[in-house]
Amino acid sequence: MVALKRWFHRVVLARRWLTFVVMVASFLAFGVGTLNLFLLVRANGTFLLENGWMAVMDGGLGQAAGLLANAFVAMLAYLVFKACEYRLVHWLGDKE
């Protein structure tokens, strides 16, 4: 994990233009990853609660795991966005 952080600092955050490109890409990934996520999680929970074991047999738990993985990927995209935003805001706002 430390090596990934070093690589991210050395390759992405060291170049302002690449930082901006990665920030836009992560913003889009977060938006797509969270689109209707709440509604899908609620619908999956309702399906599992109303149908019980039959819902589990029909793949309700697998779908819930997929939605949870989608939420983790969306949160990772958000963290990358915030790191890029922090770098660019401090570059723009700090006196040199």
Quote the pLDDT of residue 80: 97
Whether residue 56 is contained in a domain is answered as: yes
Whether residue 80 is contained in a domain is answered as: yes
Specify the pTM. 0.84
Quote the pLDDT of residue 1: 82
pLDDT digits (tens, 9 = 90+) for 1-55: 899 999 999 999 999 999 999 999 999 999 999 998 999 999 999 999 999 999 8
44 neighbors 70 (Cβ within 8 angstroms): no
pLDDT digits (tens, 9 = 90+) for 31-46: 999 998 999 999 999 9
Whether residue 75 is contained in a domain is answered as: yes
Whether residue 5 is contained in a domain is answered as: no
DSSP letter at 63? H
Whether residue 4 is contained in a domain is answered as: no
Amino acid found at 60: G
DSSP letter at 68? H
Whether residue 28 is contained in a domain is answered as: yes
Whether residue 43 is contained in a domain is answered as: yes
Quote the pLDDT of residue 40: 94
- The total domain count for the chain is 1
Owning domain of residue 19: 15-93
Quote the pLDDT of residue 41: 93
Quote the pLDDT of residue 28: 96
Where residue 13 falls (left for φ over 0; alpha for ψ -120 to 50; beta otherwise) is alpha
Quote the pLDDT of residue 96: 63
Whether residue 6 is contained in a domain is answered as: no
